[in-house]
Every structure is written in C-alpha cells, then in structure tokens.
Chains A and B, each alone.
Chain A
Amino acid sequence: MSLLGQTARYLLLSAFVVALIGSVGFYILIHRTIQREVDEILMNQVEQVKQQLRELTPDALLRADWDDNPHVERISPTQLSGPIFSDLMLPNPLDSTGLSPVRQVKTIVTERGKTYQIRVRQAYYEFNELARIISVGVIWSFLLLMGLSVLIGLGLSRRLWRPFYTTIHQLGQFQLEQATNPLFPDSRIREFDLLSQSLQTLTQNVRKQFFLQKQFTENASHELQTPLAIALTELDTLMQSDNLREAEHVHLQRATDALSRLSQLNRSLLLLTQVENDQFATRQPLNISELIAQYTDEYMPFFEHKGMTVERAIRPNVELAMNPQLAGVLLNNLFKNIVRHGAPNGLVRIELSDHVIRIRNTGEPLPFADSQLFNRFVKNPARPDSTGLGLALIKQICDRYKLAIQYTYDSSKAFHCFQIDWK
C-alpha cells in the first residue's frame, strides 16, 4: 500500500474513532445540561410554592390546579426530606394513546408549623427532542469537520511528499550507462534535500566506478589481444620454416591451440563482464523459432559428424524480446555444449513451444554436482580444452532477461536437459 494510502487509512480510522467518541460524549453532555436546566426550573417552582405557603392561606392553596401541578398535600408531620428527582412515563393528556416522559421532583417542607409534600412535574418531551436535534446537528458537523481535516491532511501530505515521489521515479529510470547523471528535485524540505544530495553523490560515484570498471575490463581484454596476436603471427611465421621436424611442428601446433584458447577465454570473460554490467541495453523482438532453426542447421554438420540423431519440434514464429547479439551467444553456447559433451551416436532433441526452449541430448552424467554446472570455470576434467565459461555465460544472459534456466539429468534415459522458460 502506498504511503498516501496508508496515511489516508490511518487518518480515516482515527477520525472515525474520534467522531464516535465525540458524538457520544456530546450527546451525554447535552442531555445532562438539559436535565440540569429542567431540574432548576422544577426547584424554582418548588420555591414559589413554598413562598405561597408562607404568605397565603393554606386552604386556598390546597386546591389543586386543573392539571394538579404543582401538587401540594398536607401530610402528618414527618421527617423532612430533600428534593427527590425522578423520571416518569405518564399518559399524555393531549394524546391519550401515548406515554410521555416527565421529570418530577418531590420534597417535604414545613411552613408555619404545618408539613406539606410538594410535587412538581415538568413534561420532558420537548427537551428530549431538543437534545436529539442538537445532538444530531453537532454530530453531523463533527463528522464534516473530521472529513474536511482528513482531506486537507491528505492533500498536504501529497504536496509535501511530491519531491519524494519524483526522486523515486528518477531512481527507477536510472541507468548506469546513460550519458548524464539523474537530477534529483530540490524541495524546501531539509530531509528530502539531504536525500537528494546523498543520492546525487551516490549515483555519481557508482557511475564513475562503473565506467572505470568498464574501461578497465575492455582495455585489459583488448590489450591482451595484441600480444596474443603477436605470438600467434610469430608462431605462424615459424611454422613456415623448412627446417622443422615433425615433433617441432607438434609443439608449434600445441602452442597455437593454447593461444587460441586463451584468446577465446579472454573474449568470453569480457562478454560475461559486459553482460553482468548490463552493457547490452537494446532489445528487440526476435523470431526465436527462426533463430533456433538457423543455429540447428549451422551445427548440423557437427551433429552428423558425431553421428548424433537430431529431432526437432520447433513451433513457428515464437517471439522473445532480447538483444540479438546475446541471443546469438546464448544459442551458440547451448549448441556448442551439445556438440562438445553429447554422446557420440546419441540423440539430440530440440524443442520450442510458446514459452519454453528445451534442449536435450544423451550423454554421461556430470562428473560434479548439478548445482555447480553454471559456475564459472567448472568443467569436465575429461575435457581440459573447454573454457568453463560457456554455461556461466548462458546463465548470465538468462538472468539478464529473467528467463528461468533449469538443468536436469534423466539417468534412466541418460538425457541431459536444458530448459529455458519465460512468462
């Protein structure tokens, strides 16, 4: 979940809780306040009755009003008791079917030596309604306020975090090989400025290192090729001499072969480093079916020479987006591997379906653990002439394009299987 999404979620959640507590609190507060006000009115009426009892003739007062409110009753002297408030539900005189809430106070007073019980009632209904209306109003404005503050908060966060998102975007677009350093945004926020500065320095250093390393590997490799060329041409010249015996020719041939291998090794290492450094950025959709068919044809004489039977099942027009040069290296190395290590007079199966290349050949099991197969310089001791880089290169290229490569050995049929799948 995004930062803003998360912020929104927490803000809304807390706003909801605050609104809930706030609403209940307000409701109770309003209710209490109204109750207190009603009680005050009741007490005022009691005071009025007491005053009347003091000044007027008691008999006149004992006559009840038409609704018997306030109700004054003479009782035998008893202990005085303070005002007792209670809530009642009494039949509504205007609406015979319903009951309506009523607040009542009862108190016993002694005036001029006589004891009275005074009871005052106050219909509560309108007050309750008032409480409800006010509560609803308050709750709604409360929710509105919370909503507004959440919106404002989110808008502000979005604005404040904008430089951060620009930075992330820039980082995502960053490529070591690009000509210029990425420009990270300036903001008025100290932390983001610090981040931008740090990233600027970091990318600059990384790019410098990358270019130095790239230059080094290229130069080292190229500089090595020149002395190799000298040695090779000198050996070539030497070989033309008429005075050489057969044994000397054998030595010359061995030296030439070793030089060729060294040069091959050098090239493979350079290529491996370049693939690792992501120096083959261009990719285009390749018709992998045609490419595999082409390589199979090219290698056919080698397969035939070893007496291998080739079976192919290549689905036409399968496309894969890759760098053409790397695709060539990948297939070349796979086929070389079969020719080099496949069993003479064995079987080769080349299959391509929509998302899978499967290349199988019969042969002896590996003399080392399967897991080491794709490591550099791991090679069959029986074949010292191989560079041990071919499969490492295959792995590197597959990794580069997120192709899953898998090696399995079926011991019952003596089948080595390389499977590359994508999507």
Chain B
Amino acid sequence: MDWLTTVDHKKIGILYLIAGGLFFLVGGLEAILIRIQLIKPMNDFVGADTFNQLITMHGTTMIFLAAMPMLFALMNAVIPLQIGARDVAFPFLNSLGFWTFFAGGVLLNISWFAGDIPDAGWTSYVPLAGPMYAGGHGVDFYLMGLQIAGIGTLIGGINFMATIINMRAPGMSFMRMPMFTWTIFITSALIVFAFPVLTVGLVALTFDRLFQANFFETGNGGNTVLWEHIFWVFGHPEVYILILPAFGVISEVISTFSRKRLFGYSSMVFATVLIAFLGFMVWAHHMFTTGLGPVANGLFSIATMLIAVPTGVKIFNWLFTLWGGSISFTSASLFAIGFIPTFVMGGVTGVMLAVAPADFQYHDTYFVVAHFHYVIVGGLIFGIFSGLHYWWPKMFGRVLNEKLGKATFWTFFIGFHLTFFIQHFLGLIGMPRRVWTYLPGQDFDTMNAVSTVGAFLMGIGTIIFVINVIVSAANKSPVADDPWEDGRSLEWSIPSPPPEYNFKQTPLVRSYDAWWNEKQKGNAEMPPAEPVGPIHMPSPSILPLIMSIGLFVAALGFMYDHLVVAIAGLVVTFGSMFCRSVFDDHGFHIEPEEQEKGVHA
C-alpha cells in the first residue's frame, strides 16, 4: 500500500525500474520469438500476421515501456541526490507520471489478451495504420496506450527540468553539475519539446480511426507524408532522449572507475547541447526515399553528418579520461568500456545511412536494423546496465555480485555482437526488414541462424542479471555510503540507501566533483549549508493511481464505443484533479530527533 501512494522519488525510481524491467522482459521475449521464426528459411513457427504483431509490439515496448522507464528509474534514483536536493520539484506529479506510464503500458499489452494487437510497426505508418488496412482495434491500443504513457513522460520531463533549475544545493552552479545531471537536463528539454508533437500525431490518427476524420485519408484530401513528418519530428529527438542519458551514465562510470576527473568537462556539456539541437533538425533523414527532392535530401544529409562531430568529441573525451587512469574493471565499468567501440560502430553506420544516395540502397534492409540496434542496444542498454550495476548499492543498499555481473556482461556483449554484426551483411546482400520469412538458397540461411543464436545469448545474459538481483536481495550485508570508494558526486556522501529526506543538512558545494574534492581535503562529510532543523516532506497520495485508472478506463470506453464508460473514466480523473486542487496538502515535518534515529526510505 505504501508503494501505491508513495511520492518519494527514490521509491518511484524503484517502481520505474520494476515496471520497466518487466516490460523489458516482455519485449525481449518478443524479440526471441522473432528470431526463432527467422532461424531457418520458410519457417512456420509463427504466421505472418503474428510476426507483424510481434515486431510492432517489440519496437513499441522496448522504446516506450522498457528503455524510457529504466532511464526514468535512474533519473529518479540519482538526480536529486546529485544536485543536493531534498526532493524533486513536484513529488505528486512524479507519482502521477509513473502511474500514467504504467497504465498506458498495461493498456498496450492487454491487446495480446483482447486479440486485437497493433500490427502496423512501431512507426505506425499510414495508410497501413489507417482504418482501411488496420480494421479492428489493434492500432487503437497503440494510439491510446502511447497517449496515456506520453502524459507520464511529459510530466517527468517538466519535473526534472524544474528540479534541476530550481533545487540545486548552494554552490552547485550549472558548470559544477555532474555530467549525468547535465544529460538528464538536456534530455528533459528534448522531452518537453518533442513529446507534444507525438501527442498531436496520435490525436490526428485517433480522430481518423474513431471519428472518420481525414488527416491521413488521401481519398478525402489527407496526406500520408504528413504522418511521417509528424512522427519523425518527434521520433528523431526521441533517439537522443534515449541516448543522451546513456552518455551521462558512461561519463560518470568511466570517470569514477578511472579515478580521474572527466576529461574535457565543458566540451562535454557543449557537445551534449549541440547534439540535442542538431537532433531536432534532422528528422527528414528518415524520409530520404519518400520523394522530398534532392535539395531537401542534401540538406538533411549534411545536417545529419554534422552530429558525428560533437559525438566524436564525447568519444575522445571518454578515451582521454581512461588514458593514464588507474582503471578498475568492475561490471559497471566493463559495460561502460564495452559501450565505446560498440557505439562508435553504430555511429559509423549512421553516417553511412546519412548519405542520401547510399540510403536508397540500404533503405528497409537489415542494415538499418543492425544500425539502430547498435546505437539503441549497444548504446542505451549497455548504458543502463552500467548505470544499474553502478548505482544499485545506492538504490537498494546491496551490491550486485561482481562475478554474476561480469557473466552478464560477457554473455550479453558477445550475444549482442553475434546477433547484430552479421545483420549488416544480411542487409547489404539484400535481406529486407519486416519480412516474416525468406526462401532458401539466397545466402541468408547461415547468417540468420547465427543471429538467432546471439539473441539467445543475450536472453541468457538478461536471465543472469535477474538471478544476480535475487542473489543480492538475499545477501543482507550492509553497504558503505561510498561502496566504490571512488565516488565523486554528492550521492556518495550520504547513506546507502539514503533516508527519505536525502540530506539531513543541504550540502555546500565548493567545486566540480564536490564529494571527491572534500575527500581529497580529508573531510569525512560535505560541509553543510544550513543548520540542523525540521525537514518539510510532502504527504503520500493515492490520487495519482486513481487518475491513471480513470484514464485507462476512459481509453477503453472510447475504443470500444461505450461513451458512458469513457465519460465515467474521465469523471474519475477530473474528479481527482478537483480534489487535489481543493484540498491543500501541507505535508509533514521530520524533526531533528527523528533524523537521528535514521528514518529510512
């Protein structure tokens, strides 16, 4: 019950991790099924329809319900601690954001039980996703599920931007913020400016499907390329929303385990901002073959290649941080070091795809599949694994087992390259993506079999990680505040796990790498910026959960044309908003005596 009403950002982080982790397993299972189907030519393990549903749900689940929530888990667990804050700016909204994401995710996945599964691809291109070719309610689940989950994401973005701007500890200037905080700040800005575009796209397609509007109905003057523009104006920044936090994690982990200050900190900050800006400018490189014309293709081609410059700055800064450092190869640092060459390969194929004339050749082949899995799995998922191993003691007060962690790394790392490296060549010799089977004798057979074996290895790596989590939960030995002994930022200056108020006294930040610096000066704790006093805390609330359930019910009502159900759901949601507005939440105070007893989260 405590977990349903919590507004503590550390607990919400754990909720995000559990929910995102479950969806990661679901999406992984879908991937395994896809690879089993493709293990040999003319396979009939799943039918063509099921295959379409699997690839659609795999992509949608992994991007929106696994990767983003796991990033939100790390954000929630770490950001307020890194900036020396007692809480996020909007604890109530933080909880609401989690529950709307969860409601949206559940809504998408009950499509498997409703028998109407989205099958138009994660990009949901029209007219394939329009009422003409996608009858039934499959695509409606996609539209409604993402719409509700998107509310949660937008709330999270606003919340973390406001938190980082307004709630930094005294002395924590922008250019003293840890790199992870910087990347989350920029990511949050991308969320705020990209997600509303998706909202409009989803609304337009929903109107087309449910109310016979004509945004994308070419027969009535609609325009299908409009969907592509809207989707990718959102979709391209989305890949930077995913990758920038991974860059932040890698920066923290590499600097900690090299025992060195991050090389070129200010150029890292500048590179992050530049990548985010360029990320917004290049959406049409997803549409080179749509017929935009040579001028547009040329401009978007060059703009896309420009992104390689700040990304290269980052790569070299990581290498120079490692250079001459005394590196300890923990599981976290293995994932971070494995990330570097893997992500470089994904970046290089990205530049290849950015060459518009060459793209006509690679377009819709397995080369593209290999490219985006290299950046998203090899970049983001490696980053998440690295961050989880790194911050696990801070989140749960237990260290993950190093032997199992290394086993996770090696099986996942080898499995990953086995699966996707070979897909570049499958693409180059002409295997199209999104096909559910292929004929024998086209040189596709062996490479597909190898790819499937790799997928199983990744599955095994994930299972080892789950075992590691269970083993560490059973291991009761307490963890030091700074278990790696080389912690550099503020989160390592307080107990693991932190008390619910984070900092008994707001710390005074005197330099970049604040905690490392105090340790160098021989100090055992951060200098306080305020005297000990009562700490104001927000009260827990059940309303976020109720509001999300209301939206969930309303979505089902709209989809199945039960107006009464839809209105009832909306009444529940708006009624909860009304209650929230009318009854003030004054919260409560934790007095100094109680702080001594150590109230733990």
A in complex with B: no
Q: Which chain B residues have a beta carbon within 8 Å of chain A's beta carbons?
A: none
Residues of chain A at the chain B interface (Cβ within 8 Å): none
